[in-house]
Chain A
Amino acid sequence: MSNRHRGSWIAGGVLLLVALSSLIVPALSPYDYYTPQLDLISKPPMLQGGHLLGTDPLGRDLLIRVLWGCRISLLIALVASGISVGLGVLWGATAGYAGGTIDALMMRTVDVLYSVPFVPFVIVLTVLFGHELWLMFVAIGAVSWLDIARIVRGETLSLKRREFIEAARVSGVRGARMIGRHIVPNLLGVVIIYATLTVPTVILFEAFMSFLGVGVRVPLASLGSLIADGASDMQAHPHLLLVPAAVLAAIVYCFNFLGDGLRDLLDPRQQS
């Protein structure tokens, strides 16, 4: 826990705090995210009644709605980075290491998925299956691993020619063991950086989809839909825009910091 990594530890702590409070606070609060209170419309932050961040145009507690939004956004970040790291790394490393026909087939599959126009795809899914939250996960999961698969494949191609890989080969190591023990650990630096870049991207993408109205379904809120609602009312009630926007910015910023620290933490060469 050197000085150099203080930022990463703080960022990790903040994210943990946000995640925990988004899980715990809504359960303890007397308010929920959907019941309107018509006598408390668009109130600014106030201590009275415990509406610490104020209320929205339907009189719902903004703090609770923002925390629910964090739940959705963090869940999407988790799913997207899980899929992109898990599937993307395995896919790319296997393709790059195997080479030849296998490589060509796997990477052409990636190209095909890549060429699916994404926003219309999500809208079609929404039309077919209704306005379901899991569609969002399917859609983001389907594309988030494509970039990382390409990057990992490229890295694997150059890694494959490194001497320690040949040394492992002449020791008789092959196949899954080679990929799992020799290739993948050496990809970690690139993968972690890229995964932490993916997280903000998908959070923002979810915000974008919610802004378009194909994300979460009302009355549930995500950070994106809260920002969209707040933006329409920003002159009269700026707190409705500022609060969710600040939380989103803080989360994205923390993820970027966390990536740097994680990479150093997992690299034995960076440890004293």
Chain B
Amino acid sequence: MTPELALISALNGISYGLLLFMLASGLTLIFSMMGVLNFAHASFYMLGAYFGYQIAKWIGFWPALVVAPLLAGALGALVERFGLRRVHKWGHVPELLFTFGLSFIIVELVQVIWGRPPVPNDLPPELQGHLFTIYTTTFPISRGFIMLVAVLMMVALWLVLTRTRIGLVIQAALTHPDQVEALGHNVRRVFMLVFGGGCALAGLAGVIGGVVFVTEPSMAAVAGAIIFVVIVVGGMGSLAGAFVASILIGVIQTFGLALDYSLAGILRGIGVEVTPSTFGYAVWKLTIAQVAPVLPFLLLVLILIVRPRGLMGTREG
């Protein structure tokens, strides 16, 4: 692990983490506001990617960057209005099951319309190439673009929440929905807006993620698992926590995949020989890169047991 590789890995990890945050922020807002854990959130991420792909084919990437998230958000609002709202009165379990079933349907619909194999969702020419090079390691423009959009999104979100009236209503409804309704605000419309907005954010992340990474039906499941880890580790209901957790997990995953060390290798370095006949060799010989996929879930389970509030959470759910 050379210093420049470490730096580039760190930057990659941060950009990946910021992408995760774009996804997680929408989910956190929805959960804080409505107490609903939107299982289908990652599906809207996927929809963003596919919408982006399709719209880009018709009118180009840059317009798609605007239209696709709006489309995803509109769809989310409809889902809330005609689906979730109905189920809400039966409690959290049916809500969870509804979004779970929805995620299932969305994945299948995507396959009906676009097919099972990955679609050729390529980077637009403006985002191809490298931003800068250190010795021989490069940092792609696309990754830098992710960071840019994520930062812009965070700023916009912060401004909306703290400077606009609707943002204040949302903040208030986060902790005191009944009082807010008593004050005359249409809380149900706010719910619909928040749900739609959260889905739009997921869609935005999807448009970008779709071109930087692969656009295929399984992207929802993969992203979904990681996102749950993020919001639980960060603390369900905390945007700051989601931010910290996103970066943390983004970096862990990126670094983890790059590191080829195993416990056996380390032991060998200090003179202890580990052979296939040593007890537990299967564990010793695992490299960090091989273990990397498991790390987020290990973290998830640990946090849930040790500190179920998460790093910065305010509710346990």
A binds B: no
Give chain B's interface residues, CB within 8 Å of chain A. Answer: none
Interface residues of A (CB under 8 A from B): none
